[in-house]
Structure 1
Amino acid sequence: MPEQSPFDLAEGDPFGPHNLPYGVFSTADAPDRRRLGVRYGNQVLDLSALPSALPAAIHPHAELLAAPTLNPLLAAGRPVWQQIRAAVHTAVTDPAHHDEVAPLFHPLDGVTLHLPFEVADYVDFYASEHHATNVGRIFRPNDAALTPNWKHLPIGYHGRAGTVVVTGTPVVRPHGQRKAPADEAPSFGPSVRLDIEAEVGFVVGAPSTLHEPVAQGAFRDHVFGVCLLNDWSARDIQAWEYVPLGPFLGKSFATSVSAWITPLDALDEARTPPPARDFPLLPYLDDADAEPGGIDIRIEVRINGETVSRPPFSAMYWTAAQQLAHMTVNGASLRTGDLFASGTVSGPDPDQLGCLLELTQGKGPYLQDGDEVTLTAWAPGPEGARIGLGEVTGRILPAG
């Protein structure tokens, strides 16, 4: 049989020409050389070699594409992102270039994927009303489920950028303090209530200036793309430490992200209005006259191969543009490579809950050593296509 062309995709492949997500890879013959790539079907297009195949369209950006990480490209700004995306689209769809481009592909199963960008800062939000309500009822059964500020501002916390890891990286069960309500004193040891949080992450490209807030309307100028994210959570450590300041060691031991960053422009067809707000927002958060800020991303959570939930990102109360506006409204600046996450994605139905805390109403069971968790997702694209987000997988290893 003749060898299949890398340009021939299976019908309905979610990594077709409308998607074109970016990542970083290496090959077996050059394991120390990291290169930028774009996923196309089950192939990876070597972007570092693309200027030689399309010199007129992409050669001015050759230095960016030769970098071992996405950060230089992220910092280049939206006009450059659009130029390179257009050139890649031409490379994979125009038969006139196929002879030159075909040798630049590598089979996906023959490369090693790496963390696609150097994470500068990491912020995690709490943007699902369904999740926040469910957790409030579990943690504060005698009080209001939502805190008084929840519908006035996107609540978030700063995480640890240095423990953001790429999909496939094992997650070691963390140690920490924990104290159940009936315990007389705290104890120390491995977490016994290890959980997942199915989330969507947003990757910042162009930085901003200190003391200059970023308005919602500038969202596309600063945010490069989207990835799936699993905010691993040690619920027993978290419950004991998070009063009064919030999550710390119960979250900072690991955060897993996809190896592929889907450009925002690939999700234009998936934009959708967020749920209706209960009362007016302050001007910097008011999005009544803005483009639809929600995104119809449909997530699936599997544990050891079994689907346990399908959380809908379209149900999120706070949008990513509002989150970006809020985290810079005090004058905090953005840096290239900043990552901010949505918080757990949960919907109104029992099969749409994004963490085991909700799925089991706080009773467990939680993750066991050896369990493997996989997040996948897709969004509607143009012409009926599906836009796939790269999966996020992690296996739990015993505490050291």
Structure 2
Amino acid sequence: MQAASSSAQIDRLGADIDQMVNLNPGAFLEGATPRLLDEWQLAPSLWGAVRRAVDDDPTPGQFILSGSAWPDSETIKHPGAGRILNLVMRPMTLFESGDSSGGFSLRRLLDGEDPLYGDQSSTHQISDVCRLITRGGWPAWIDREADTAELLVEGYLDNLAENEFPFVGGPRRSPQRFLHFVRAYASLTAHPSPLTTVQERLGKDGIEVGEKYAPLFHEFASRMYLVEDQPPWAPARRSKSRLNATPKRHLIDPSLAAAAMGASHSALAKDPRTLGFLFESLVLRDLRVYCQPLRGTAYHFRNKDGTAEIDIVLELRDGRWVGVEVKLTQGAAIDAAPRLQQVADSIKRPPEALLLVTPTGVAAQVSETAWIVPIGLLGP
């Protein structure tokens, strides 16, 4: 809404939304530009109307189409190539919610400047980070108490299954089966796992699903912007590893994974293994946002025999990259720094920098290229 001069809230038009818009889609485009069409996917004919309007007047930035799901491709007759740019909107980062000072700047690091220009220590304790994980980056809930936020996230997940899922999956598919998928998927957070593992986990729980269940429900979850996997990285852009290796599995926000697994902030504080995976997902969420305006993408690296890994690789379009390891303590980060440097040295393209991100502690440069950074300092 902050970027728009006028708006149309499509989801507030009533039960016959699509029919109303189909009668005169151009009427919904009238207003000061940029004009926001919120939840446009409920009336897919708006996509064609916007495309035609842009053909008639190619002035950039006339319309903003936002939506919580992507309609079936059969309803969109033209992809909008050359006219419409796609921009992924993610939940708020800790810097945006005021839970990180941003004193360690990713942009400054990549510009060759001193990235640490503010506080050198984070005020967070582990219990604080557990609350930030289960609260999530949802704008309306950042000021809520942890227990209340967790209930709201659980309700949001149920609402997605009951209301959003029928839109993308069809009314005949069971919302409960979709929740089964999400729970199994959440248990694989930050793991490079094939989709067949989802089905295996459900089978162990006595839930029978068909052979195509996991790929199909993964597609549905992707169209609902519920999952955003972390693709594999290889130093050579044309390497088949970028296409064939297994992505790491992530929901769009770690709070959704915690809710799906039934993990409260107090439970996470007593379960370091689960906390480690969800903390890695939190770090990934924020780094994706911080590197997006730099035209960067977040990957993960694992060599062929699995002996060398990097949790997160941020690669810019110009070829520069940053390797990131995620650790739960400063001691573990200090111990991991030489290993991370060794893996980076084995790659023909040297990194711009190496980061070891922790939940708490103090920022420190531990070598010429490596930094330890608590997430409470990490920023754009």
TM-score, normalisation: structure 2: 0.24
TM-score, normalisation: structure 1: 0.23
